[in-house]
């Protein structure tokens, strides 16, 4: 019951974002292993939401910033020469795309811009930014190791009609 309540709360945090075409476009790109960028961002968003809720931090901003943190909208595996510095440049690209489509708070912007810290040297300004940065790394490891299959989040997401309207991923897990 507590879990269901918190999941509904999570959905309400990101509802206006997840239903937009630009966010759904992330499902057309592979992030890690067999996971699409949208699945990765949902994973990071939900983990960040849970951690921030547990710690009494701004879980609303963490969920939203987490969902948009990789809104760079290209396949970074495509071998294009512009991708050489993807690790350093994509937070800025994601922030530019996110601010073009949504009104974001300073905290949400900081979360997106600094999520690759410490790779991008500037320190995050908010504790929520550190949480999302940490959640991103945890989710990345789980995805690369294939442990994502064992995590219930994707299945739960797909159970909800709003989320299952998202186009099918390029590859299925």
- Between residues 110 and 136, which has the closer beta carbon with respect to Fe ion? 136
- Between residues 39 and 136, which has the closer beta carbon with respect to Fe ion? 136
Give min distance, CB of 94 to Fe ion, in A.
7
Element (H or E) spanning 32, and its range? strand 30-32
- Between residues 70 and 108, which has the closer beta carbon with respect to Fe ion? 70
- Whole-number Å distance between alpha carbons of 25 and 14: 16
Burial class (CB in 10 A: 0-12, 13-18, 19+), 153: middle
- Whole-number Å distance between alpha carbons of 172 and 120: 32
- Between residues 138 and 156, which has the closer beta carbon with respect to Fe ion? 138
Give min distance, CB of 161 to Fe ion, in A.
26
Give min distance, CB of 148 to Fe ion, in A.
13
- Between residues 10 and 29, which has the closer beta carbon with respect to Fe ion? 29
- Whole-number Å distance between alpha carbons of 25 and 158: 16
Q: Footprint of Fe ion on this chain (CB under 5 A)?
A: 70, 136
- 37 with 49: CB under 8 angstroms? no
In Å, what is the CA distance from 81 to each residue of 115, 124, 163, 173?
Answer: 23, 29, 34, 29
Give min distance, CB of 49 to Fe ion, in A.
15
Give min distance, CB of 138 to Fe ion, in A.
10
Nearby residues of 12 by Cβ (< 8 Å), 6 or more positions away: none
């Amino acid at each position: 019951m507590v879990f269901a309540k918190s999941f509904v709360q999570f959905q309400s945090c990101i509802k206006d974002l997840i239903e937009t075409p630009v966010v759904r476009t992330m499902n057309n790109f592979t992030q890690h292993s067999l996971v699409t960028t949208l699945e990765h961002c949902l994973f990071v968003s939900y983990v960040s939401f849970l951690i921030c809720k547990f710690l009494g931090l701004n879980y609303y901003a963490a969920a939203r910033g987490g969902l948009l943190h990789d809104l760079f909208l290209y396949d970074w595996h495509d071998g294009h020469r512009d991708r050489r510095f993807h690790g350093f440049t994509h937070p800025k690209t994601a922030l530019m795309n996110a601010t073009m489509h949504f009104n974001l708070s300073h905290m949400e912007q900081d979360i997106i811009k600094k999520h690759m810290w410490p790779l991008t040297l500037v320190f995050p300004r908010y504790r929520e930014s550190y949480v999302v940065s940490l959640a991103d790394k945890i989710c990345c490891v789980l995805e690369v190791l294939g442990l994502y299959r064992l995590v219930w989040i994707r299945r739960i997401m797909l159970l909800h009609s709003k989320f299952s309207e998202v186009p099918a991923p390029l590859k299925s897990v």
